[in-house]
């Protein structure tokens, strides 16, 4: 099969699996929506989100499929878009949508944390063990080859002698690219908040002063093993949100 053919139908072939995964996202979303709407109204919105995701699946760009670790991150990022679009259509404000998306990330992080702890793993260690950091160095270097135009490009930042354990700069972001192409770039800053939600729930320090989604030339992620991360909603006091 040619690369061009794979690019065209990769996600279409993955559709049953993607819909199954999205239904898990919708269960979290419904738990949030029933606090605002009746059960029947929440269910109506959930069904609209499911239909919208089916429409969006073919729009997900191919960045290597299973060969690329960040395909799953791209898919998960795009999976928030149907939720956003249906809430926007329902008439919710930009800020109301942002709060729902942040709550979604927070609940999803807590679910992952419980699963890791159940099998005896420290959630924070997923980010700081030696193997993880070595692997990050490898994939950041590989990303700089720019094999797929819709993929991320990362630059590893050593933390030795600095107030963080390690970091990476992101001059190109897969989520930012696809949201921009689909005309919904203004919602990218909400997707970025997932990093703060995860760090807060897992119990490690995370900082960032700028993001592509807020108009900066890069995203500068920094990780601190023994640090703490405050809850990031509302995001007004985050340094990355002070971009003009």
For the residues 177-201, what does the mean pLDDT come to? Answer: 97
- Partners of 157 in the beta sheet? 167
If we measure between CA atoms, which residue out of 98, 76, 16, 84 comes closest to residue 48? 84
At residue 8, the pLDDT reads: 63
Convert the pLDDT of each residue in 59-88 to its tens digit. Answer: 999 999 999 989 999 999 999 999 999 999
More confident residue, 7 or 167: 167
d(CA 120, CA 88) in angstroms, rounded, equals 40
Mean model confidence pLDDT for the chain: 94
Residue 4 pLDDT exceeds 70? no
CB-based contacts of 231, cutoff 8 Å, min separation 6: 106, 196, 197, 200
Question: Which of 6-20, 146-160, 163-177 has the least mean pLDDT?
Answer: 6-20
With a pLDDT cut of 90, the percent of the chain lying above it is 94
SS (HEC) of the chain? CCHHHHHHHHHHHCHHHHHHHHHHHHHHHHHHHCCCCCHHHHHHHHHHHHHHHHHHHHHCCCCCHHHCCCHHHHHHHHCHHHHHHHHHHCCCCHHHHHHHHHHHHHHHHHHHHHHHHHCCCCCCHHHHCHHHHHHHHHHHHHHCCCCCCCCCEEEEEECCCCCCCEEEEEEECHHHHHHHHCCCHHHHHHHHCHHHHHHHHHCCEEEECCCHHHCCCCEEEEEECCCCCCCCCCCCCCHHHHCC
d(C-alpha 243, C-alpha 63), whole Å: 29
- Report pLDDT digits (tens) over 9-28: 899 999 999 999 999 999 99
**Which pLDDT belongs to residue 241?**
86
Residue 170 has pLDDT above 50, yes or no: yes
| CA-based nearest residue to 26, from 7, 50, 51, 52 | 50
pTM: 0.94
pLDDT of the residue at 7:
65
Q: Where are the domains of the chain?
A: 3-242
């Amino acid at each position: 099969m040619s690369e061009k053919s794979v690019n065209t139908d990769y996600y279409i072939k993955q559709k049953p699996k993607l819909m199954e995964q999205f239904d898990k996202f919708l269960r979290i979303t419904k738990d949030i929506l029933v606090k605002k709407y009746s059960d029947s109204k929440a269910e109506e919105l959930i069904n609209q989100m499911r239909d919208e995701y089916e429409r969006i699946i073919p729009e997900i760009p191919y960045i290597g499929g299973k060969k690329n670790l960040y395909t799953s991150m791209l898919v998960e990022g795009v999976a928030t878009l149907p939720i956003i679009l249906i809430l926007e259509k329902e008439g919710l404000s930009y800020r109301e949508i942002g709060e729902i998306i942040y709550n979604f990330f927070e609940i999803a992080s807590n679910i992952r944390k419980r699963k890791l702890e159940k099998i005896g793993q420290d959630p924070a260690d997923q980010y700081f063990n030696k193997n993880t950091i070595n692997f990050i160095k490898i994939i950041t270097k590989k990303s700089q080859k720019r094999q797929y135009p819709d993929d991320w490009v990362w630059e590893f930042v050593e933390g030795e002698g600095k107030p963080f354990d390690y970091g990476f700069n992101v001059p190109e972001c897969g989520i930012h690219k696809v949201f921009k192409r689909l005309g919904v770039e203004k919602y990218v800053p909400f997707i970025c908040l997932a990093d703060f939600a995860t760090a807060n729930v897992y119990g490690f320090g995370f900082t960032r002063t700028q993001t592509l989604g807020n108009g900066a030339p890069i995203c500068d992620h920094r990780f601190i093993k023994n640090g703490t991360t405050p809850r990031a909603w509302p995001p007004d006091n985050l340094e990355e949100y002070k971009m003009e």
